[in-house]
Amino acid sequence: MTSMPAAAARSTSNGVLMTLRKIVASQEFALFISLITLIVLVGSVNSNYVRPNNLLSVLQGNAFAAVAAIGMSMVIISGNIDISVGSVVGVLAVICGNVSKAGAPDVLAWAVPIVLGAGVGAVIGFLVAYMRIPSIVVTLGLASILKGGLILVTEGREISGFNESFLIAQMRPLGISVPIIAMIVLTIIVAFWMRYSTFGRSIYAVGGNPEAARLSGINDRRVILIVFILNGIFVGIASLLFATQLDIIRATVPANFELLVITSSVVGGVSILGGVGTVIGSTLAAILLNAIGSALVFINISPYWLRAFQGLLILVTVLIDLFRRRRQGIGV
């Protein structure tokens, strides 16, 4: 009889151990450790790197990309991809700036890119979920249409001379800039929502095995449509942060932005095969990528090598993901 409580105690301690082991083995933990290691190593070479100011700018530099990566993570977890984010951000930023210049109140100017982002997401989602066009084709085509449209409409002119109250990304409530706050708050909310809500779980189900998800009563088309709309909202927020970070909005698509966002998601542990990953990972990865870029400057390596590092990093994480899956027997 006495063995009962002992067994129970052992199983709870096993449970705690299991959870601990799970945390330690997670991609998020690995990223966190890499980030700390990087900061310590580079800081010991060049102490300017660990100055609070620089660390804050490391946090802020990719914040808008991290916000977009939240949406991208959902899209990838659902088994799709979006390579139009760069063009969408470019277009929405210009529209946002023009609305403000036209004399609209700030709140309206801020809302416009978010609403339009949701609209663009709805179009992509409809074509992918209901017209059955692969997301890569839809977003590749859309990227081209928007990029061309941007050149056609703006003719490359830039917009400047905004009211100070419009530039939300430069505000610092509580001494921390808005992009950092947006990144952290949105990441936490979405992480909880994806883990504990029914809809959040159904995204994983659709990405992991669409057939099984459908058979268990999930409307997979609707899930994909909503995922793309949510992604559009996050892209909209990202473009708002991008548009207001400087006093000037250039009528160009931020170069290789989609690649940075996808890299953040993939390096953050979101499996490109669908069904796995968290937005905490993608945000940590976005920060890590910027930390690497900043570190290159501080240890005197040409920043032109940054993209090669990023490519290598994606490759390594994808391989680790594949080997992990194979060992667990999930299969590819």
Partner 1 sequence: MQLDIQRESGGIREESARRRVRNALLSQEAILFAILMIAVVVLASRSPNFLTASNLLTQGRLMAEVALVALPMTFIIITGGIDLSVGAIFGLCAILLGWTWDNICLDPLAIKTRGMECAAGFPLELAIVAALIAGVLCGLVNGWFIVRVKVPPLIMTLATLALFRGLAEGISQARSVRGYPDWFYQLGQGDLFGVPTQIWVVIVAAIVAGIVLSRTTFGRSLYAIGNNETATRFSGIAVGRQKMIIYAFSGAMAALAAWIFVSRVSTTRSDMGTGLELDVIAAVVLGGTSIFGGTGSIVGTMIGVVTIKLLQNGLSLAGVTGDATIIIVGAVLILAVLINGIVQRRSGRS
Q: Which residues bind partner 1 (CB under 8 A)?
A: 81, 127, 131-134, 136-138, 140-149, 151-152, 155, 256, 259, 262-263, 266, 272-273, 302, 304-312, 314-315, 318-319, 322, 332
> E-assigned strands of the chain?
159-160, 248-249
Query: In the bound complex, what is the minimum distance in angstroms from residue 137's beta carbon to partner 1?
Result: 5
- Residues contacting residue 88 through CB under 8 Å, at least 6 positions apart: 117, 120, 142, 143, 146, 232, 235, 239
Between 80 and 278, whose beta carbon lies closer to partner 1?
80
Query: In the bound complex, what is the minimum distance in angstroms from residue 319's beta carbon to partner 1?
Result: 7
Query: In the bound complex, what is the minimum distance in angstroms from residue 34's beta carbon to partner 1?
Result: 18
DSSP state of 253: P
Query: In the bound complex, what is the minimum distance in angstroms from residue 318's beta carbon to partner 1?
Result: 6
Query: In the bound complex, what is the minimum distance in angstroms from residue 232's beta carbon to partner 1?
Result: 17
Q: How far is CA 123 from the centre of its chain?
A: 20
- Residues contacting residue 97 through CB under 8 Å, at least 6 positions apart: 159, 162, 243, 249
For the purposes of burial, counting CB atoms within 10 Å of the CB of 161, is it exposed (0-12), middle (13-18) or buried (19 or more)?
A: exposed
Between 173 and 331, whose beta carbon lies closer to partner 1?
331
Between 167 and 259, whose beta carbon lies closer to partner 1?
259
Between 168 and 314, whose beta carbon lies closer to partner 1?
314
Contact between 227 and 80 under an 8 Å Cβ cutoff? The reply is yes
φ/ψ (deg, to 5) at 2: -65, -20
Q: Between the CA of residue 198 and those of 153, 235, 308, 314, what are the distances in Å?
A: 42, 23, 39, 30
Distance CA 306, CA 308 (A): 5
Query: In the bound complex, what is the minimum distance in angstroms from residue 147's beta carbon to partner 1?
Result: 6
Between 15 and 148, whose beta carbon lies closer to partner 1?
148
Query: In the bound complex, what is the minimum distance in angstroms from residue 86's beta carbon to partner 1?
Result: 11
φ/ψ (deg, to 5) at 176: -115, 140
Between 170 and 252, whose beta carbon lies closer to partner 1?
252
Between 215 and 255, whose beta carbon lies closer to partner 1?
255
DSSP state of 273: T
